[in-house]
């Protein structure tokens, strides 16, 4: 199992000022969604309530999609795996925009790469689902001489949108 060491996972969340027990839950959830994902190649989400520190796990038994529920307006941290280790999808970004009580949305890739998106305040602007998808499509269709992999383009698109929204976007890779 390719997972970041605990120090690197801690680094990803260091600006959020979370308690030690919450960080432990985060590390546990990164491991768990990766483990579940590797067993069946589906996406799994772990939803951690920042107040109760309870974790609920969800899956749609689908390789590129997972829906999850949060039952109150408390702050949540949502961590899900991406079997192909891709960065945030347009759908991920849209959901994060819409659910203000999501303090943090993270991806655990099966190659060990992890991405974290978090908000420190309200979104500065709002984008429709279509606008987000169109932006991704434009970056994907950059001229051929722009030599970037599809994964790199997805990362640029997601990071740019995060920047426009006023969110922090962090990435860590297994060395
Ligand atoms: Zn996703």
What distance in Å separates the CA atoms of residue 54 and residue 147, rounded to the nearest whole number?
44
What distance in Å separates the CA atoms of residue 45 and residue 33, rounded to the nearest whole number?
6
- How far, in Å, is the centroid of ligand 1 from the Cα of 118? 14
- How far, in Å, is the centroid of ligand 1 from the Cα of 157? 14
Reported confidence tier of residue 31, pLDDT bands at 50, 70, 90: very high
- How far, in Å, is the centroid of ligand 1 from the Cα of 61? 14
This prediction's pTM: 0.94
Is the separation of the CB atoms in 6 and 27 below 8 Å?
yes
Is the separation of the CB atoms in 34 and 109 below 8 Å?
no
Q: Which structure tokens are listed for 175?
A: 């060395």
Helix axis angle for 90-98 and 150-165, nearest 10°, is 20
Reported confidence tier of residue 84, pLDDT bands at 50, 70, 90: very high
* 126 Cβ neighbours under 8 A, 6+ residues apart: 97
- How far, in Å, is the centroid of ligand 1 from the Cα of 42? 11
């Amino acid at each position: 199992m390719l997972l970041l060491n605990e120090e690197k996972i801690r680094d990803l969340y260091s600006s959020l000022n979370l308690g030690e027990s919450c960080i432990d839950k985060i590390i546990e959830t990164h491991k768990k969604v990766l483990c579940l994902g590797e067993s069946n190649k589906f996406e799994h989400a772990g939803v951690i309530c920042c107040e109760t520190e309870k974790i609920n796990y969800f899956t749609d038994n689908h390789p590129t999609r997972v829906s999850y529920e949060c039952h109150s307006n408390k702050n949540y941290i949502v961590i899900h795996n991406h079997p192909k280790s891709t960065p945030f999808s347009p759908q991920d970004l849209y959901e994060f925009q819409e659910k203000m009580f999501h303090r943090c949305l993270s991806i655990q890739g099966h190659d060990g790469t992890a991405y974290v998106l978090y908000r420190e305040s309200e979104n500065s602007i709002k984008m429709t689902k279509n606008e987000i998808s169109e932006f991704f499509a434009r970056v994907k269709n950059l001229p051929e001489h722009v030599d970037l992999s599809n994964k790199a383009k997805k990362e640029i698109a997601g990071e740019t949108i995060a920047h426009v929204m006023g969110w922090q976007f962090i990435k860590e890779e297994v060395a």
